[in-house]
Structure 1
């Protein structure tokens, strides 16, 4: 991704679970996309229907190139697995629409599908559906320069396993590794009690204050790019603090503009960005260095590792084209507390159960 996108692709499901996630996302991005197979009618809330009517939520029309590339990557992924993580051995099934599948995968999926529903949904083992949908969302987002975002903490935590082509071993806590898939936490941005804010107010905000969102997104994008590219000690602590100060200033302006009636601006949801960060950066910002501890860079911005990469070369080669994903965590237990979900634990559970 070579520029900050103004839109986000929701993953991993078609339906939106939380209207407040829609509102919060539209305070950051201008538009939300989702993958809806031809002929399928989503079961949308009234708020989602209104957002669709105003062009704020749109459907991605899957192209043959999307399904073909996803099939290529999905087959390569399974062929090259050095071991099967526990999360891909779980029982249970999920539905997958045939319209999302490349023809080359039908022989494989038909062998393991248990039933063909009246609504044309294949019933397939959950791990297979999970892996396929992660790859499909990655391909669709890459081909359209979209960010990927979710409110599903578990899905977000295990997404790097697929996005980074399983470049992780059974031991994910190697503190001497050269690169780590990491979390960049931003507190104090999206108001948590946004339920009572009409979607019309969100729409008005988007129309009137778009420039503030653009500025803030660009600051985040530039900083994430810098963090993900550095592999030497040249990335000084002062340079990091300079980026963070600019982000905090831009965030303050954006937050001031988000002044909806009866909304407490000091009680916020947690906004998290996933990205690769090198050990040299952690050595720069932490002394002594422990990538897996949460470190506050400045103000409301913190960082911490989720898992150590198994191989260094693929990360170095792909650092110009790494895969960023975003999580707006709607967990009410986190609201008003500077508490962080244990993403390394969730990832480790997926690998080792």
Structure 2
């Protein structure tokens, strides 16, 4: 969990989210085309100069492989024999009848911006009408190749990025209580400060240098918790996670929380969360047969709940996935999986 790739835009839309991200990851990368000079504010420029934010240039081989992978992915989704649909949120046909409150309305201007910028910079290796979808696919591809996490500060973008990070393994039935496998949202809601507007980027960077050990330990325990929860398909092992494994995670979280404490002026926290594949077993831990979409606490400060059913269990085991994180800048509900479920359903089904 040391390195993260920020997507889908080059410029950071919210420096607050970047500051929060730098409390969690050692370095934040972003994809920048050759010859492009990002229009950064002074705080982002400072983070770039320090090496905490890294401009990542994609070579021709990566671009070619990603473009071919994307076009193959696109063609498979449009094959009538394929049970996995192309999401409505990525179809230009839906843009003629969009509701301004829905995810499509927020994706359209981004897609137009990406298409213009990437085409003019000679960066695009796919038809321009697919530029927006391709940039999300490219981010997932690059993160997989470099073993990085994906991060974004928008729940709308998270829905798209997570779709690709999980290899598009979703059908139209986003809500399916009888499914054996789900995309879940694991949310930590008692760690990051809500407001860092009065904290300079220099202070954040100094904090990172002074608290490497605590952060590394927390990163390790988040990764291990993620892996244990994703692997669990046995009720007895689920009890082990709660009884033993969570205790180690809580200890690491509490220690890091204490080190971050001087940033907080009150006890109002910002949520950060990650999408991960899980079986129905882990989501039925509180009481057998419970609604998998009803969030519950694995421990103090950690919520889990389903966002969407997977279309097939086979892809989960066969293909590598990427951890897709959302660092909240929207003051989300305290039960984020409900909001993310709605966003995901709009993205898949319009």
Measured against the shorter chain, the TM-score band is 0.7 to 0.9
1:113 is aligned to none
CA 1:166–1:145: 2 relative to 1, 3 Å? closer
Shift of residue 190 of structure 1? 0.8
1:317 is aligned to 318
Shift of residue 290 of structure 1? 1.4
Please give the alpha-carbon distance, in whole angstroms, between the structure 2 residues aligned to 1:143 and 1:181: 22
Instruction: State how 1:128-139 maps to structure 2 within 5 Å.
Output: 128-139=130-141
Shift of residue 164 of structure 1? 2.5
1:249 aligns with 2:222: no
Kindly indicate whether the alpha-carbon contact (under 8 Å) linking 1:20 and 1:195 is maintained by their aligned counterparts in 2: yes
2:190 is aligned to 188
2:348 is aligned to 351
Q: Secondary structure at the match of 1:270?
A: strand
Please give the alpha-carbon distance, in whole angstroms, between the structure 2 residues aligned to 1:283 and 1:133: 36
CA 1:265–1:147: 2 relative to 1, 3 Å? farther
Q: Secondary structure at the match of 1:148?
A: strand
Unpaired runs of at least 5, structure 1: 110-123
1:29-53 deviation digits (Å, cap 9, x = unpaired): 1111100001111110110011111
Instruction: State how 1:1-353 maps to structure 2 within 5 Å.
Output: 5-81=1-77, 82=82, 83-89=85-91, 90-91=94-95, 92=108, 93-96=112-115, 97-98=118-119, 99-102=122-125, 105=126, 109=127, 124-125=128-129, 128-260=130-262, 263-264=264-265, 266-318=267-319, 321-332=320-331, 334=332, 338-340=334-336, 342-353=339-350
Kindly indicate whether the alpha-carbon contact (under 8 Å) linking 2:24 and 2:215 is maintained by their aligned counterparts in 1: yes
Q: Secondary structure at the match of 1:12?
A: coil
Please give the alpha-carbon distance, in whole angstroms, between the structure 1 residues aligned to 2:88 and 2:174: 14
Kindly indicate whether the alpha-carbon contact (under 8 Å) linking 1:259 and 1:265 is maintained by their aligned counterparts in 2: no
Of 64-73 and 142-151, deviating more is: 64-73
1:260-303 deviation digits (Å, cap 9, x = unpaired): 36x32511110101100011222334433211111111111010
Unpaired runs of at least 5, structure 2: 96-107
Please give the alpha-carbon distance, in whole angstroms, between the structure 2 residues aligned to 1:227 and 1:339: 19
Shift of residue 339 of structure 1? 4.0
Query: Where is the helix percentage greater, Structure 1 or Structure 2?
Result: 2
Q: TM-score, normalised by structure 1?
A: 0.86
Please give the alpha-carbon distance, in whole angstroms, between the structure 2 residues aligned to 1:162 and 1:52: 27
Shift of residue 202 of structure 1? 0.8
Please give the alpha-carbon distance, in whole angstroms, between the structure 2 residues aligned to 1:130 and 1:269: 28
Kindly indicate whether the alpha-carbon contact (under 8 Å) linking 1:197 and 1:260 is maintained by their aligned counterparts in 2: no
Shift of residue 233 of structure 1? 3.2
Kindly indicate whether the alpha-carbon contact (under 8 Å) linking 2:191 and 2:257 is maintained by their aligned counterparts in 1: yes
Shift of residue 256 of structure 1? 1.1
Equivalent residue pairs, number:
322
Of 48-57 and 338-347, deviating more is: 338-347
Query: After TM superposition, where is structure 1 displaced by more than 6 Å over at least 4 residues in a row?
Result: none
Please give the alpha-carbon distance, in whole angstroms, between the structure 1 residues aligned to 2:281 and 2:135: 33
Kindly indicate whether the alpha-carbon contact (under 8 Å) linking 1:306 and 1:344 is maintained by their aligned counterparts in 2: yes
> What is the CA RMSD across the aligned residues, in angstroms?
1.8
Kindly indicate whether the alpha-carbon contact (under 8 Å) linking 1:181 and 1:274 is maintained by their aligned counterparts in 2: yes
Shift of residue 54 of structure 1? 1.0
Please give the alpha-carbon distance, in whole angstroms, between the structure 2 residues aligned to 1:100 and 1:237: 49
CA 1:294–1:197: 2 relative to 1, 3 Å? same
